[in-house]
Amino acid sequence: MSDQKLWQDGLASLNALLSDLSPAAKKPLLELLSGYRAGKESLAAITLAADSETICRDCAGQCCLNGKYRVNVFDGLSLCAAGISVMPDFSQKPLCPYSYAGGCILESGLRPLDCILFVCDSLEGRLPDSDRVDLTALENNLRKCLSEASQLLNIHLGIPLLLWAEKLTDQPIQNQRGI
Ligand code: SF4
Ligand code: SF4
């Protein structure tokens, strides 16, 4: 199955999951998603203040190559909950399918967790110690959100969305819970 089809099927399944959730499960999930998005924005703001825009532009996004598996299931759920439709271009390999000439097509709060957490040596060297402490605390919170949401839905939300979608062809979403 093509990556494009896996992407579409994965998101369609997540949208269905969201609409089928009971109000009792949906409320805490939306709270976790809201914290997940806000945590990513805060983390990105710290690197932005260290002038990541200039540094990353000069580097031409070397850490953004081959990024098709960066979006995990919880990142996908975050896009669905926000009602944002993303059209990746899987044909532009080795460029990340979620990028365009101007950079990442995703705003910071909706970028993949792996991308948001990655701080290369060039960037890290610019951060004061206090920012490093903040980054660690934010990373821990993001991982906690992911873990709590996984427990809530009984789905391992940290796996790449495309790999998860591939399993949907063999096992419906209900049977995937717990893997
Ligand atoms: S985070 Fe580092 S490796 Fe990635 S684009 Fe920015 S400067 Fe380059
Ligand atoms: S999703 Fe965005 S930040 Fe992550 S690798 Fe792709 S272009 Fe880079």
| Per-residue pLDDT, 101 | 87
Q: What is the pLDDT along the chain (179 residues), one digit of tens a residue?
A: 899 999 999 999 999 999 999 999 999 999 999 999 999 999 999 999 988 888 988 888 889 998 899 999 999 999 999 999 999 999 999 999 999 988 899 999 999 999 999 999 999 999 988 999 999 999 999 999 999 999 999 999 999 999 999 998 776 666 556 44
Closest-lying ligand to the alpha carbon of 62? 1
Residue minimizing CA distance to atom 1 of ligand 1: 120
Q: Which atom of ligand 2 is nearest to the CA of 71?
A: 1
Q: What is the dihedral of CA 68, 148, 86, 123, to 10 degrees?
A: -60
**What are the residue boundaries of the structural domains of the chain, listed by start?**
3-176
Question: Rounded to two decimals, what is the model's pTM?
Answer: 0.93
- Within the chain, strands assigned E span 99-100, 103-104
Report the separation in Å between the CA atom of 50 and the middle of ligand 1, taken as the mean of its atom positions: 12
| Per-residue pLDDT, 179 | 42
DSSP 3-state assignment of 166? helix
Q: How far apart (Å, rounded) are the C-alpha atoms in residues 176 and 164?
A: 9
